[in-house]
Amino acid sequence: MLRDITLGQYYQSDSVIHRLDPRVKLSGTIIFIISLFVVNNFIGYAIAGLFLAWVIKVSKVPFRFMVKGMKSIVMLLVITVVFNLFLTPGEAVVTVWKLKITKEGIEIAVKMAIRLVFLIIGSSVMTLTTTPNNLTDGLESLMKPFKIFHVPVHEVAMMMAIALRFIPILLEETDKIMKAQIARGADFESGNLVKKAKSLVPLLVPLFISAFRRANDLAMAMEARCYRGGEHRTKMKPLQYKKRDGLAYLTVFLYLAVCILGGRILPGLFMAP
Amino acid sequence: MGIIQTSKLVFEYIRRDEEGNVEGITRAVDEVDIDVQPGQFIAILGHNGSGKSTLAKHINAILFPTEGTVWVDGMDTGDETKIWDIRQRAGMVFQNPDNQIIGQVVEEDVGFGPENMGIPTKEIWERVKESLKAVGMYEFRKHSPNKLSGGQKQRVSIAGVIAMHPKCIILDEPTAMLDPNGRKEVIRAVRALNDVEKVTAVLITHYMEEIIYADKVFVMDKGHIEMEGTPREIFSQVDKLKSLRLDVPQVTLLAHELKKSGLDIPEGILTIKELTEALEDLRRS
């Protein structure tokens, strides 16, 4: 049952977006998120929406996969919208008991909702088109400048890669321990939340012990294969920018420029007295 | 001097209680002298807790001797400046296939060793290709290790070691967690390496069937080397092996019992074919 969980949500397909360098996709996503917070009118959002729609179309990932990512933030979305609707002071449109929905509240709530939805979809495009491996490589490479501040960039990336490799193994193990305990009469299904949480303790203890043992073995195996940190290490698959990556950077910056122009500067010019 | 040599090797595990006081000392390896010549296929046999794995970890400079010396390709493992050279010359394959694969894709895992050694990218790819081909896993290079069988995972681990171009490869019970088919796959891969690439192989195991191809066998018990010789020499001493709580292959046991009950067949029969031939000869004469 637990084995069905897939980590990361990579969607296998052959598109330009898939082939892009992970660094481009990471910085592109960050720029897209920035653009969402720079613009604050509906022209800007329309530009962002069009750009996003175009990227999704090029990536060949079915739209329903993007929507899947939305499920996790439905609650957050509802809370944000409700708070903004009711708690923004201004001209009342509807009054329910002591609460009133204001015109300003509606505007802010809608903008917030659009921002959140675009933000989630935008980052799903990245995770759907990049393998976790590539993502780790990209992060390591982008974070390299932080080495000056003694941030252990290589080590963190290695840890992420190992975690990714061991998640399915540990899930399988959890499944095994669970079954072994169910066979001996353990009950993970019934009872209230507290009881359920308590029944997990006998599951977690053996899991942790085994995880530590595995970590110990792996460390030894890595040392035996001459692993000594990131120094003097070469890469089997080094990240190399290609022509398409340059074009992608250009597109993203062009988009940012258009966004700022349409969503910030132009309306300001028109509305100026 | 051989490629691996130990002289009066002693290793002690110190057990401590919660306050860190010494509770007791266990001698895992006790005055062991072995000498392995380049290109040999060596098997180290022993019951659980006989010290065979501890001995293996000394060859890869993972453990260091309490007393005595270990030389690998002429380098003393006690010399800290040589430790990475030693680990490159003497590659090691461990028991649990899941706990030694680092990469998320087969080819990435095989490339891990060469990456650590600072080999240029282009050469890493060549090494990965040739080592995966050597163990017959080339067509799986793009697969995730999680989806392979135990025997296949172990072959990937072996490829990962070969990619570092070691002079010898130490296999610490590589087949202990595998099913009979997986065991055969792994042993076949090791033998091919030893035959074709002339890599010195040190196979640590407690499966008797796996050592019949070895050039030399060491039998360990309680940290000592109890027996030493060719597989035939070892297997002709069935009673001694039994006293060391080791199982003898069924054919050898059958031949031994037949001989004891009066049939005139040679000692140390290793394969079914040898026994049938011996019996045929007997019938003819």
What are A153-178's pLDDT values in tens digits? Answer: 888 888 888 888 888 888 888 888 88
How confident is the model over B204-257, as pLDDT tens digits?
A: 988 888 888 899 999 988 888 888 999 888 888 888 888 888 878 888 888 888
From chain A, pick out residues whose CB is under 8 angstroms from the CB of B118. 232-234
- Whether residue A3 is predicted with pLDDT greater than 60 in this model: the reply is no
Residue A150 banded pLDDT, cuts 50, 70, 90 = confident
pLDDT(B51) > 70: yes
Contacts of A166 (CB under 8 A, 6+ apart): A211, A214
Q: What is the mean pLDDT of residues B49-65?
A: 88
- What is residue B49's DSSP assignment? T
Identify the band that residue A191 occupies on the pLDDT scale cut at 50, 70 and 90.
Answer: confident
B110 pLDDT higher than 90 = yes
Question: Residue B179 is encoded by which pair of tokens?
Answer: 């099913």
Q: What is the pLDDT of residue B80?
A: 84
Is B113 within 8 Å of A225 when comparing Cβ atoms?
A: yes
Whether the pLDDT of residue B6 is over 80: the answer is: yes
Beta-carbon contacts of B217 under 8 Å, excluding residues fewer than 6 positions away, are B42, B43, B44, B45, B211, B227, B228, B229, B230, B231, B234
Asked if B164's CB is within 8 angstroms of A217's CB, the reply is no
Average pLDDT over residues B104-130: 91
pLDDT at A10 over 80: no
Point out the residue among B99, B117, B125 whose CB comes nearest to the CB of A226: B117
Residues B134, B128: Cα–Cα separation, whole Å: 10
On the question of pLDDT at A1 being above 50, the answer is: no
Stretch 111-130 of chain A: residues touching chain B, C-beta under 8 Å: none
| pLDDT in the model for residue A135 | 84
Mutation site for B-interface testing, chosen from A226, A228, A231 by largest number of B Cβ within 10 Å: A226
Q: Which of A266-270, B20-24, B167-171, B232-236 has the highest mean pLDDT?
A: B167-171
pTM of the model: 0.79
**A236 part of contact set with chain B, CB < 8 Å:** yes
User: A236 and B115 in contact by Cβ < 8 A?
Assistant: yes
For chain B, say whether A219 makes contact (Cβ under 8 Å): no
Reported confidence tier of residue B123, pLDDT bands at 50, 70, 90: very high
Q: Record the tokens describing residue B86, joined without a space.
A: 């030693």
Query: What is the pLDDT at residue B197?
Result: 84
Lowest mean per-residue pLDDT among A7-16, B195-204, B243-252: A7-16
Catalogue the long-range contacts made by B268-272 (C-beta closer than 8 Å, 24 or more residues apart): B268/B231, B268/B232, B268/B233, B268/B234, B268/B235, B268/B236, B269/B235, B270/B212, B270/B231, B270/B232, B270/B235, B271/B212
Of B102, B111, B161, the CB nearest to A222: B102
Question: Between chains, do B118 and A234 touch, taking CB under 8 Å as contact?
Answer: yes
| pLDDT for A270 | 63
Q: Which residue of B has its CA nearest to A169?
A: B146
pLDDT score at B43: 92
Give every CB contact of residue B163 below 8 A, 6+ residues apart in sequence. Answer: B110, B111, B113, B114, B124, B127, B128, B131
Encode burial over B133-143: b for 16+ CB neighbours within 10 A, e otherwise: ebbebbebbee
Q: A 149-188 residues with CB below 8 A of B? A: 161-162, 164-165, 168-169
Q: Looking at the partner chain, which of A221, A232, A236 has a beta carbon nearest the beta carbon of B99?
A: A221
Give percent above pLDDT 70 in chain A: 94
The pLDDT value given to residue A131: 79
Does the beta carbon of A218 lie under 8 angstroms from any beta carbon of chain B?
yes
Nearest to B45 by CA among B222, B201, B218, B227: B218
Closest alpha carbon within chain B to A3: B146
Inform me whether the pLDDT recorded for A68 exceeds 80.
no
pLDDT at position A8: 57
Q: Is A234 in CB contact (< 8 Å) with chain B?
A: yes
On chain B, the residues whose CB falls within 8 A of the CB of A170 are none
Cβ contact B102–A165 (<8 Å): yes
Report the pLDDT averaged over residues B118-142.
91
Average pLDDT across chain A, whole number: 83
Residues in A closer than 8 angstroms to B107, CB to CB, are: 236
**Above 50 in pLDDT, residue B64?**
yes
Q: Identify the closest residue of chain A to B157 by CA–CA distance.
A: A221
- Binned at pLDDT 50, 70 and 90, residue B161 comes out as very high
Give the pLDDT confidence of B165-188 residue by residue, as tens digits: 999 999 998 888 888 888 888 998
| Contact across the interface for B96 and A217, Cβ inside 8 Å | yes
Model confidence at B198, pLDDT cuts 50, 70, 90, reads confident
Q: Is the pLDDT of residue A60 over 70?
A: yes
Mark yes or no for CB contact A214/B128 under 8 Å. no
User: Among A264, A248, A263, which Cα is nearest to A54's?
Assistant: A248
Q: Considering only CA atoms, which of B174, B165, B241, B163 is closest in space to residue B205? A: B174
Average of per-residue pLDDT across A116-135? 85
Q: How far apart are the C-alpha atoms of A20 and A115, rounded to whole Å? A: 25
Q: Which residues of B touch A238 (CB under 8 A)?
A: 121
A133 Cβ under 8 Å from any chain B Cβ: yes
CB contact under 8 A, B113 and A226: yes
